[in-house]
Structure 1
Amino acid sequence: MEQRKAASLTWQGCLSKQTRQTVSRMANNAFRKFIILWFGELVSSIGSGLTAFGLGVYVFQTTHSATAVSLVTLCTFLPMILLSPVGGVLADRFDRRLMMLLGDGGSALGLIYILIVMFSGEAQLWQLCVGVTISSIFASLTDPAYKATITDLLPEEQFAKASGLVQLAGSSKYLFSPVLAGMLLAVVDIEALLIIDISTVFITIITISAVRRCLVAKPVSKKKFSLAKDLKEGWRILVSRKGVFTLTLLMTVVTFYMGILQTLFTPMVLPLSNAKTLGIVQSVSATGLLLGSLFIGVFNVNQRYTRVLSVGLLVAGIFFSLIGVSSNIYVIAAAGFLFFATLPFVNTSADVLIRTNIPNEAQGRAWGMIGVVSQFGYVAAYASAGLLSDHIFNPLMDEGGLLASTVGKWIGSGQGRGIGLLFIISGILVIVLALIMARMKSIRALETK
């Protein structure tokens, strides 16, 4: 934290010695480099979204099982989550731009494998799992290096603005990809989506290379490289900051409920419509992410991060529940829109509170460890969502089910309505989490440091 303050004082010192015009030009130049990097990640996110949507529809239509969808999703994210601390260590030890190049380029190998399998005949579930696992292993190099590079590029005053734009790029897989994929699947097969995703790798490689030429990679440490030691150091950095560690654990709970929604949204909506309608509903919902991210990117959020975090989470819980209360597509889309509109405020607040409490030279290791801890909620959700849906909640709400004649009178019964009930309960629990978070002194203290 002292080094973070020193960096901030150095920036402020520059302000006192140079004219406003010069300082503004320096800041704008740094932000332009960030925009180049951000554009590459935007394209990559859209491509990944096409593949994710296509595989979700393909698996559900061929297996009619939410558990199968959940398994593919688990294989997509588990290696990336488990290996993110390793990616964080490498991001602190080696050229961060090089790590992103290897991650984005290597992730295409898994997609190529799936494409070959599909051209040879109908892909088996285990083959899809192998392909997405390979892609995920390489992708684990990208995220810690990407987040750490943002800290390299920008002054602290631009962190919140950058975070809003990063969330905008991340939301593109939910905003643009579903409607594009839904329309494309009406005229082409899933193989076309995979080819498009593979092609986007070239664009991201070009943008990362451009930023790499503009910047000189800074050697962070001259100590002898030891993966085990650096992983242990990343954990020590995380747990030594009580507020950061507590916030990370709470965000793990948030990611669990996000994983439930992400995994089961398709099995809930697809029985009510078709792939094209599903894509439109997902894109309409994700428009909330776009507007929320744009609001933060344009107007910024410079203070009261803890209040924004707790209030945003409380409102998100309300709209999460509303996604499940009706089988009407328009109600689902509206509730989804409002839910996703709150997420940028939650994510930005958490991001800034954590980023400003970790030294720059430890950003890679810290983000790698934070990633594996906070995103363990996704792992738990992907492992359990399908089972909860297929074996508990859907049977309760099917015609003749235990709750079909009671709860079913309010939210409807039949295929997929058990998932709606699960969403309602999840939203209520998110509201409870928000109320708890608002009263935690260790989290409020992060804003005063």
Structure 2
Amino acid sequence: MDEFKKEDGFKKFLIIWLGELISNIGSGMTAFGLGVYVWQLTHSAVDVSMVEMAALLPAILLCPAAGVLADRFDRRLLMLLGDIVSSFGLIALLLLMNKGHIHVWQICLCVGFSSAFVSLLDPAYKATITDLLTEKDYAKASGMMSIASSSKFLISPIIGGLILAIYGMELILIIDILTFVVTVVAIFSVRKSLAVKSQIKKEMNFFKDLKEGWLIILKAKGVLLLIVLVSALMFYMGFIQVLSKPMILSITSEKTTGILQTVVACGMMVSSIIIGTGILKRNYVNVMGASFIASGITMAGFGATTSMTVIIISGFLFFASLPYATTCIDVLIRKSIDNDKQGRAWGLISLISQLGFVIAYVLAGILADYVFNPALVEGGVLADTVGKIIGTGETRGIGFLLILAGLGLVITALIVFKSKVIRKMETPKEAESRLEAIQSLQSKSFLSKDI
């Protein structure tokens, strides 16, 4: 298996990665387009957050079950199934839009259905990458995966904004559906030519497997704490995920919003390319903590003003800092859990870590519409205090929320720096075993002298 990985693994990874890149561009266009579409339809941050929630929640809740399936069945087959069936939700949404008079709950239903089957992809995809690569390629592959993920923010918004302004949401959905075809072909070509590791055949028991996945996480030192910190990161990021579009759309057009999101997302692409060269090889904890701090400061800067120049610079630096954190987290977890158990582990990891997103999506729209935005309009309770600093207006409350979220990220970074358990995750297993052996011998020596 190691010999196979060295010779062909990275080539197979590139094929899957290219398919995911194309799929992410299509999905990013739909996500951007729906955010603008719903805001223009209702001018409600709550409605925007409801659609975002519908896209996120099913995938999160089903990820543990998908992780169990990824350890038991052909992971590439699960990826194929997830891509094909998830497209049905987009087709239904397209048909409803063509009929006219679509409601937000219908959008949520279609998006939720698609999201439910996308949940099959994530654990299988991540576990397959570990199947294909040697440990020395993990950081490089993670950087390339960040490039694929960043395409949602880098390429999709500018294309989606132009299409939305000229043709409408329907064409975006058609393009997204077509990208699934390309992705399926890429995955199928790898599945046909790549030998699949045989799985141990035994009776299916989801609850038992989920319990095993939980025990795997508990046994891997530092992983659980790292997941909790990631959940905190997702919580603060959820606010900018939901609220950035309404904030920007209140001061500019959808076309300009798409261009702006593309420009700031160039930061993620630049960092992902740098990481993809293999530059990150050590000091993962320090790099992760520093990236948390940078993300927090720049998120606060993003919300602090209506100046497009400051928003662009802050947004660029915010996205530039994220790949360093995600790559370090990815590498530390992969090094701590055996490959044959990673499907179950990644499913639960996705569930726990993204709970922060769920909470943020629930709170963001409510806090924006009913608390902070009313407080920062003329005559609002914060207009004469906070408003004197960041200004007042329709969505300045959103800006204040992003400032508070940025401060929360900085506090999370301080926890990362002080955690001895997380720092031990960087220690190679061989060195850790030797250290434990030395400590054991020293303990025995001390006891013998004492006696």
Smaller-chain TM-score bracket: over 0.9
TM-score (normalizing by structure 2): 0.93
Q: How does 1:233-244 map to 2 (within 5 A)?
A: 233-244=212-223
Out of 387, 408, 413, the position equivalent to 1:434 is 413
RMSD (CA atoms): 1.2
Structure 1: distance between partners of 2:59 and 2:153: 19
- Residue 123 of structure 1 corresponds to which residue in structure 2? 102
Q: Which residue in 2 is equivalent to 1:18?
A: none
For the residues of structure 2 that align with 1:239 and 1:29, how far apart are their CA atoms?
33
Pick the structure with greater CA Rg: 2
What one-letter code is carried by the residue in structure 1 that aligns with 2:337? I
What corresponds to 2:174 in structure 1? 195
SS of aligned partner of 1:347: helix
2:290 aligned residue: 311
- Report the equivalent of 1:336: 315
The number of equivalent residue pairs is: 428
Equivalent residue letter for 1:252: S
Q: Deviations over 1:351-371 (max 9, x none)?
A: 000011001110100000000
Match in the other structure for 1:321: 300
* Aligned: 1:258 with 2:222: no
Match of 2:86 in 1: 107
Partner of 2:277: 298
2:245 maps to 1:272: no
Q: Does 2:20 match 1:45?
A: no
Name 1:204's counterpart in structure 2.
183
SS at 2:385's partner residue?
A: coil
* Residue 93 (1) aligns with residue 72 (2): yes
The answer to whether the Cα contact below 8 Å between 1:220 and 1:361 also exists between their aligned partners in 2 is: no
1:375 pairs with 2:382: no
What is the CA–CA distance in structure 2 between the aligned matches of 1:37 and 1:260, rounded to whole Å? Answer: 31
Written as runs of structure 1 = structure 2, the 5 A alignment for 1:45-194 is 45-194=24-173
Question: Does the 8 Å contact 2:32/2:157 carry over to 1?
Answer: yes
SS of alignment partner, residue 398 of structure 1: coil
For the residues of structure 2 that align with 1:288 and 1:67, how far apart are their CA atoms? 29
Q: Which residue identity lines up with residue 295 of structure 1 in the other structure?
A: I
State the percentage of identical aligned residues: 50
Quick one: distance in 2 between partners of 1:59 and 1:384? 18
* Distance in 2 (alpha carbons) for counterparts of 1:123 and 1:198: 19
Q: Which whole-Å CA distance do the structure 1 matches of 2:52 and 2:401 have between them?
A: 19
| 8 Å contact from structure 1 (residues 107, 138) kept in 2 | yes
- The two structures have a TM-score, normalised by structure 1, of 0.93
Structure 1 position 242, deviation (Å): 3.8
The 5-angstrom pairing of residues 11-30 of structure 1 reads 27=6, 29-30=8-9
What are the superposed Cα offsets for residues 85-134 of structure 1, whole Å, 9 maximum, x if unpaired? 11111010000000000001111010011011111112101100110011
Checking the alignment, whether the CA contact within 8 Å between 2:139 and 2:278 is kept in structure 1 is no
Structure 2 unmatched runs, 5+: 430-451
Residues 176-235 of structure 1 show CA distances to partners (whole Å, capped at 9, x for unaligned) of: 000101111121010000000000010000000111112111123233221111111111
User: Which residue, out of 187, 190, 203, partners 1:224?
Assistant: 203
Q: Judge conservation of contact 2:221–2:336 (CA < 8 Å) in 1.
A: no
Q: 1:419 aligns with which of 376, 398, 401?
A: 398
Deviant stretches of 4+, over 6 Å: none
Greater mean alpha carbon deviation, residues 217-226 or residues 131-140: 217-226
Residues 93 and 219 of structure 1 are in contact (CA less than 8 Å); yes or no, is this contact kept in structure 2? no
Secondary structure of 2:277's counterpart equals helix
CA distance in 2, matches of 1:167, 1:399: 42
